[in-house]
Amino acid sequence: MRNTDIGPLVALSDVPAAIGLLTRLPVRVDTERATARGAAAAWAYPIVGLIVGVIAVIGMTITSAIGLPAAAVALIGVATVTIISGAMHEDGLADTADGLWGGWDPVHRLKIMKDTYIGAYGVIAIVLSLLMRWLLLTELIQLGAGVALIAAAMLSRAAMVGVMTWLPNARTSGLSRAVGRPNFAVALIAAGIAIVGAVGSIGSMAIGAVAAVVVVAVGCGAIAKVKIGGQTGDILGAVQQMTEIGVMMFLVASLAS
């Protein structure tokens, strides 16, 4: 496990480092410092979610103002989030589906996950994820709660930090291994930032949304632990996707009842 006690608990340089890692946004990153900080910068992942979510909501607001239907506005929102993140979380979900359900033992599963090809499980996972997020966001927009996308984006990225802290690295190489594992304090800060952002965007429903994230993240982590003995970058991508869906499902169910 990489030592994450490098410098202060929170450093301003962690924000561009997190943006550079999790998005395709053009930011100047001090590569040497970002590498040295490693997982200590993971507290800023929910801030990336805030940025991605706000950009998507702005796009949704503009397209809604010009008269596009809710379904089209939601499609813009999902597409914006996916494009900004470079579809890295979707890719992680696909690799996770292929590996965990296509392999017969941990070694073979990890080998499949590292393969650049995508299989049937991966294609199905991506299609279902995109479809579910589009349908749920459409419903949220119709319920007047499209801004909830910000809460989902922040909480789902905080979930990644929690799983990184909880589970050991399943392989000796790869992106997650290179970044390292954050300590508990880093995960706690990430959770705090995400919760504050969720309260700001969805109010008291943030309590239920956090509970949904915990349930889904623990479930995903438990499966990964059984299947491959820990987490990888692909597992973290799958956690982000599944917890984002979990938040939106909870909100739709709450608002529609």
Mean pLDDT along residues 170-178? 75
pLDDT at 6: 63
Question: How many folded domains does the chain comprise?
Answer: 1
Number of C-beta neighbours around residue 28 at 10 A? 7
pLDDT at 32: 86
Answer yes or no: is 2 within a domain. Answer: no
Q: Give the model confidence (pLDDT) of 41-60 as tens digits.
A: 999 999 999 999 999 999 99
Answer yes or no: is 163 within a domain. Answer: yes
Residue 38 pLDDT level (bands cut at 50, 70, 90): confident
Mean pLDDT for the chain?
94
For residue 12, the SS3 value is coil
Number of C-beta neighbours around residue 2 at 10 A? 14
Answer yes or no: is 124 within a domain. Answer: yes
DSSP code at position 168: P
- pTM for the model stands at 0.94
Would you say 27 and 16 are in contact if contact means Cβ atoms under 8 Å apart? yes
| Dihedral sign, Cα of residue 160, residue 166, residue 171, residue 177 | positive
Pair of tokens at residue 241: 């996707």
Owning domain of residue 185 = 14-256
Would you say 194 and 155 are in contact if contact means Cβ atoms under 8 Å apart? yes
pLDDT at 35: 84
- For residue 195, how far is the Cα from the chain centroid? 15
Region class of 167: left (phi > 0), else alpha (psi between -120 and 50), else beta: beta
Answer yes or no: is 159 within a domain. Answer: yes
Length of the chain: 257
Answer yes or no: is 4 within a domain. Answer: no
Residue the block writes with tokens 């607001």: 61
Answer yes or no: is 198 within a domain. Answer: yes
Residue the block writes with tokens 């089209």: 72
Answer yes or no: is 248 within a domain. Answer: yes
Answer yes or no: is 160 within a domain. Answer: yes
